[in-house]
Amino acid sequence: MMTTERGVNGVEVLSTMAARNCFFGLDIGTHCDDLAERQSCVEQAIAGITDGKLAAKAREFMYFTAGFWPDVGAIHDRENQMKILRQSIEAASAGGDQDTLNRKIVAVGECGLDHHWNPSGEDGRCESDFDEATYRGEREMFESHLELARELKLPVIVHSRDSFEDSLDCIKNVGYDNGIIHCYSYGIDEARAFLDRGWYIAFGGAVTYNKKAKLEAIKDLLRFVPADRFLCETDAPYLAPVPLRGTTNTPVNVELVYKFIAEVRGTSLEELSNLVDENIKQLFSL
């Protein structure tokens, strides 16, 4: 899975993915009104691929989600932004034919909860932003995404950081268990709680970062998640895996995530790739 890269050569990225016979690429939404822009960005990149066969392959494997990340501005404008999100999905679904990019919306998200405060971060977020109204509003916004996904009969891409109990509580409140816990960052007990409800767990480049003190716990977690609920992802342009940590990430780098996880799980790259592809087929009804 990926988000649309800024400042990255999309033609080169998609060409490489197609040449590797990539089965699935997911461009994930983070703003309520970014769907059309993301689709256009990917379409332009595909149009720039000079090899017709590779271009056709790229168009075949690219899919999209629509949703928005829980920043403070979105939380306080949630009713309006949910309306915009719904309108963007309806507009995309109404245009084109079944073979074009704008019909390939396969999930709602990313959406969820983030209680990791980083005052020096790009959005200037800090702990003091989270008064009671913001906290309740964030939960309401996540539950609105879950309700929309249930209405549309689509899986959900869930962002959950330092907010396990609240995330699980919102999911229980809505009673919709269909999707991915994206960029998973908790332990085995938390994974069991999500898995018991039917969720998939997705791992990205962050699993390659851990210091020796935490490495065994990560390996135990990677072995714990059952084969039929296991996914790998990129989260480009973030979380570039070791040895590329700190650089702009692209979906091409997911191969490094696969290599790390395959070694930990004691399987081959091909077997892990086939396993993930089968899970994708099941989750997204492909």
pTM: 0.92
- Of 8, 102, 95, 22, nearest to 56 by C-alpha is 22
Q: What are the residue boundaries of the structural domains of the chain, listed by start?
A: 10-284
Which residues have CB under 8 Å from 150's CB, separation 6+?
174, 176, 178
**Is residue 196's pLDDT more than 60?**
yes
Q: Is the confidence at residue 5, as pLDDT, over 50? A: no
- The vertex-69 CA angle with 64 and 70, nearest 5°, equals 160
Contact 2, 22 (CB under 8 A): no
According to the annotation, is 110 in a ligand binding site? Answer: yes
- CATH hierarchy code of domain 10-284: 3.20.20.140
Which of 172, 216, 218, 217 lies closest to 196 in space, CA to CA? 172
Please tell me the predicted confidence (pLDDT) of residue 118: 45
Question: Tens digits of per-residue pLDDT, 41-96?
Answer: 999 999 999 999 999 999 999 999 999 999 889 999 999 999 999 999 998 887 65
* Model pLDDT, residue 123: 58
Whether residue 159 is annotated as binding a ligand: the answer is: yes
169 annotated as ligand-binding: no
- Residue 27, annotated as binding a ligand: no
Higher-confidence residue of 129 and 104: namely 104
Note the Cα 153 to chain centre separation in Å. Answer: 18
- Other Cβ atoms within 10 Å of 157 Cβ, number: 28
Q: Which two tokens stand for residue 274?
A: 């086939």
